[in-house]
Amino acid sequence: MSEERMSRREFLTKSATGAAVMALGSLAFVPERVWGANDRISLGIVGAGARGNALMEWAQRLSKSHNVEFTAVCDIWNQRRERAAKKVKNWTGKEPRRCRTIHEICELDDVDVLIIATADFQHAYHLTIAVRAGKDAYVEKPLSCHFEQIKEAYKAVKETGRIVQMGTQRRGSGKYFGAREFIKSGALGKVTYVEVCQPLFQQRWRIYGAEKSIRPEDTNWREFLRWFDPKDYPWNPRHYREFRLFWPFSSGIPCQWMSHQIDVINLALDELPRYAMARGGVYLWKDGRTNPDTFECLLEYPSGCIVRYHMRLGNSLNGRGITIYGTNGTMELDAGIAYGDGGGGEVGRGFAVVA
């Protein structure tokens, strides 16, 4: 049987296993054991902004099933630090320790795990300090915008052996692992092209009133900048509140969106890209941002596959999702659906495997 031509019966047979695995994404997580009082895990939050607060809410849902408890909060902005502390007291009835810097919270010997949700460019730096201090960590994506910081963090994790999870959390869904097995089964044939389309119509990451929402005395601008020179980056409340709009604090679309999509594509294809090229610019939202509002990237994979990622913030038509094109059919990765349309085999129009 050639890879280019497959009968409907053969497609059905080969796809059965992959479809079963893709369905794992709907299974509920069940803890292996109930934690005892002596196993209580002490948590600390580093960076209590919008994302940090969302992660705190998720972790709190595990407080009983996994016996975890927040005992410390860390943020250089007074307002966010106090807000997080109030939330913890409402949950636990106890006052958490309040820390201003990553160094302060890492000095607390009884804190086991840190949730790191600071600005994009700070993640790897804070992770390096955390694991060197003996802490396990959940660190938000992207790991960094700057490769040198990533190398330092990787070295620190390898040398310390600490447990680290990064916030590309789509890997927690079984359907992506199922998609990998589905592709390995040969049901889609040879995969040569993947398209990721993420259109939106919104002034993404713009926070109106950011200029008046914080004063330099309320935070620590030098600590925020870390290795950047304050002479090059004087106090700017928009850089602080809207860091996703400005390089070198973030790359915007690649850091915030593409990182998720390409991660699960790498998982499904079971390989990493070897070449990349990208273009983009600020074509619509002339609000002072320097990171693109329109962006496109092409990635080439060793097996012979092109991945095209494109995102725009000026038109939301055609929805969002990942489409994988093979010689025998097509897979809508996020939906967990595979069908024979477009392939060269005799699979019949509209056949689908649904997770």
Share of the chain above pLDDT 90, in %: 76
Q: Within a domain: residue 32?
A: no
Task: Please check whether residues 43 and 143 belong to one and the same domain.
Answer: yes
Do the beta carbons of residue 255 and residue 263 sit within 8 Å?
no
Task: Please check whether residues 126 and 236 belong to one and the same domain.
Answer: no
Task: Please check whether residues 181 and 296 belong to one and the same domain.
Answer: yes
> pLDDT band at 38, cuts 50/70/90?
low
> pLDDT band at 170, cuts 50/70/90?
confident
Looking at residue 174, its pLDDT comes to: 86
Peptide bond into 216 cis (omega under 30): no
DSSP state of 254: I
Task: Please check whether residues 273 and 225 belong to one and the same domain.
Answer: no
Task: Please check whether residues 215 and 290 belong to one and the same domain.
Answer: no
Q: Within a domain: residue 3?
A: no
Q: Which of 145, 153, 106, 101 is nearest to 125 (CA)?
A: 153
Task: Please check whether residues 62 and 160 belong to one and the same domain.
Answer: yes
- CATH number of the domain residue 289 falls in: 3.30.360.10
Q: Within a domain: residue 2?
A: no
Task: Please check whether residues 291 and 191 belong to one and the same domain.
Answer: yes
Task: Please check whether residues 103 and 197 belong to one and the same domain.
Answer: no
Task: Please check whether residues 325 and 218 belong to one and the same domain.
Answer: no
Question: What are the pLDDT digits (tens) for 229-244?
Answer: 999 999 999 999 999 9
Consecutive H or E run containing 240: helix 237-241
- pTM for this entry: 0.85
Q: Within a domain: residue 31?
A: no
Torsion 233-234-240-243 (CA) sign:
negative
Segments forming the whole domain that contains residue 228 = 210-241
Share of the chain above pLDDT 70, in %: 86
Beta-carbon contacts of 25 under 8 Å, excluding residues fewer than 6 positions away, are 173, 174, 175, 176, 178, 336, 355
Task: Please check whether residues 191 and 296 belong to one and the same domain.
Answer: yes
Q: Within a domain: residue 1?
A: no
In whole angstroms, give the CA distance from residue 105 to residue 118.
14
